[in-house]
Structure 1
Amino acid sequence: MSKIKKLYKENIYGIIGTLCFHILLVSSFLLAEVNLKGEVKEEPIILDFTDMEELEEPVVEELAEEKEDENTPANETEQTQASSRSNQAVNDAPMKDPFFDEEYQKEIAEAQKLVADVNKQLAKEVKQLEEFAMPEETTEGMDPDSIKNTIYSGESNIHYFLENRYHLRLPIPVYLAQGGGLVVVDIVVNPRGKVIQAEVRKNANLKDPMLEVYAKQAAERTVFNTDKSAPAQQKGTISYTFVAQ
């Protein structure tokens, strides 16, 4: 027991020093582990695509050039032939369609013929109204005292008034009309018997506007006897009674 005490006294400082060293070593390890766990930092990841872009661009351009070469005809002749084949296909398509059968083609031909006939009729010269012939009442060789100023043509009649004058030629337009009604025309006649002016009086009861046209034409064609003593412009009237045909 005395030996142990003696050894203890001799080595007490060494033992204490050793313990302190180990305590400090353990403490430093613990502190180092805490720092490692608590101070972990995340660093950003940077990806560099510069090299990849430089490599991809030539590839894209090469593909575009190859595609353009494929779509471009080898020469102008090939392009023309391709266009011709396309147009021929379009032109031939309707003929192969069941809808465009023989009956349809027949109707088209008839329609084209009808259009041609209409154009042919329209191309013909249209006669002017002045060229239409009218029957006339003449008094050539008659006694002026026996000439009446009212002329009957069937159920229609023409009556004129021109003081001290009688007609030599009196056109009768009633045969041209389909409708009926009374048309009065104011006339102006020169000494030679020519009608130099004719104006139709408006009649709201007329349903056929052509009656006025025919009456005016007939009045302008009327010829009266010559009277040198007559006024330069002698006024009168001609009345046309049309009966519906």
Structure 2
Amino acid sequence: MLERLLDRFERHKYGVIGTLAVHSAVLFTLAIVRFTTIPDEQDRSEMVIEMVPEDEADALIAPPPENVSVPTGRPVTNVINDQNAVAADRSLDARTSQRLDDQVMQELKDMEKNEFDRLEEERKASGEQIDMPELDPSKWKKERYMAANDRPVKVEGPTTVSYDLPGRHHRSLYIPAYLCQGSGRVVVRIEVDRTGVIRDAQVDQRASTASACMMAFASEAASKALFDGSTAAPAAQNGTITFVFMPQ
């Protein structure tokens, strides 16, 4: 509605301005003629002012009523209706303003997109287009650059080999294939350097319950073990590797 009124005013603004100018000139002329006209004797009237003393004037002034009730007749309803109309007009103006703002914003976005597209076409036409190489997603997996979860220091459970070397993890651990008879348990005490290499491996006779055959296989397998390197580890770190030989 507001846009329609503005458009109609734009088309007929010269006629409206001319009409207002003519009416203003006529009203101004009539006002001048009226104020400069001297009334006749019979049209004149006298005003008699009677002066009243101050104490009598105070007595004539009636005190205001204590309880003033607001009339609930038709005028109040008219006032409320007028306020609702004003609120509705304000709401309409707000919606119209918001609509205009959204329209302007959309036009700006369209202009920006068209400008970018035009520049893109110009770069392509002049050979300045930069082709971005496609990257292999498999080479950018975050799992490749995240620290691995700490593995348990001591391997236990249904396995035939376990080790105890605080702060270190095995890189290779040899499980021997033995030809000995019976079963048993062999504990081999090891000495590991910072690079993870076994420097010494000795069977703990007191902690072992196996035959000499099993101890020989366990000592050889322990010497072949390899652990990860650690600069924070001692130069010669001590630990154990335990071999459990199941019956054949």
Common fold: TM-score over 0.5: no
Tell me the TM-score range normalised by the shorter chain. Answer: 0.3 to 0.5
Q: Give 1 or 2: higher strand fraction.
A: 1
Query: Highest Rg: 1 or 2?
Result: 1
Q: Structure 1-normalised TM-score?
A: 0.37
